[in-house]
Amino acid sequence: MTYIVTGAVGFIGANLVKALNARGIKNVIAVDDLTQGDRFTNLVDCDIEDYLDKDEFLVALGRGAFNGVVTAVLHQGACSDTTESNGRYMMQNNYRYSRTLLEFCSAQKAPFIYASSAAIYGDHAEFRESPECEKPLNVYGYSKYLFDQYVRQHKSAAQVVGLRYFNVYGPREQHKGRMASVAFHFFNQYRSTGKVRLFEGSSGYGNGEQRRDFVSVEDVVKVNLYFLDNPLKSGIYNCGTGAAQSFNEVAVAAINACRKSRGEGPLALAAMQAQGLIEYISFPHDLKGKYQSYTQADLTGLRAAGYSSEFLTVQKGVSRYCEILAALSS
């Protein structure tokens, strides 16, 4: 039997392939679009059965090439650029593609675990998996919202799980450019310039005090595998730590990890500010009204589904991640 991972060359998808390999699973069909060819490095240390371009995969799916042979589909393939304005492109990649896979899995009675997004909540003050909390601010968030709505209306004979990822960081995101995590950007800024740049205060928050639910890809993978191991559990669940932390905290963790790699001692936020290691820049005009200044996953649903593991804090997770980045760049 075969596992299909879409978006397999991407950030979360590649981490899922690696995690499946760690379980001894190598019969993985990796599906993606390698137009950006340098992303191939994410799968160099992974074992897969085959690689298919997304369009090639959809053709094969349509002619029944995977009928009766799929154990599960882990659907991570999507356009995740929250600044993308081409709605037609976004809906084709994030909504229509997902519907096609859901309908296939339903017909085949194969588990379908897919990437949703906390962008669905927009600027709402609550982050519960409930329609009254869902107010996307951009077409990316809307594309994810619309598919979640379809899932709610669709009755499947097999497991269907949507995971609303919050701000994910960790290894194998280097190809994402401006959409990479702030932990990744802070690490590279500090290594190249000796300081990091954060937004000035906005929406009632002080400089660098905007708060997000930053979640390690390690934990994201664990949640995916939990549902893979529990095929009778279906639903849409938040995938975050349940604890909002500030951008300042991420910056402190990244800088101190860099300092540790150089044999230097840790510094507190105030000392970093005083020494000019943290710089605050004007809030971008094009993000006004489209920016989530605060997110924090409500984990009530996830815990009720039986997931009991604790999540890494920024202090632990970002430090661990930056140590990996430092080792790779040394």
Q: Which residues are catalytic?
A: 140, 176
Identify the sign of the CA torsion 132, 134, 137, 138: negative
Q: Are 76 and 15 in contact (CB under 8 A)?
A: no
Count Cβ atoms within 10 A of the Cβ of residue 195 and give its class: 0-12 exposed, 13-18 middle, 19 or more buried: middle
CA-to-CA distance for 185 and 14, rounded, in angstroms? 20
Identify the sign of the CA torsion 317, 318, 323, 327: positive
Return the amino acid letter for 231: P
Give the other-Cβ count within 10 Å of 229's Cβ: 9
Give the other-Cβ count within 10 Å of 197's Cβ: 15
CB burial of 60-94 (b: ≥16 within 10 Å; e: otherwise) equals ebeeeebeeebebbbbbbbbbbbebeeeeebbebb
Task: Please give the torsion angle defined by the CA atoms of residues 194, 321, 46 and 164, in that order, rounded to the nearest 10 degrees.
Answer: -110
CA-to-CA distance for 256 and 238, rounded, in angstroms? 30
Residue 150 Cα to chain centre, angstroms: 21
Residue 252 Cα to chain centre, angstroms: 22
Q: Are 8 and 32 in contact (CB under 8 A)?
A: yes
The token pair at 286 is: 């094009």
Identify the sign of the CA torsion 227, 233, 234, 240: negative
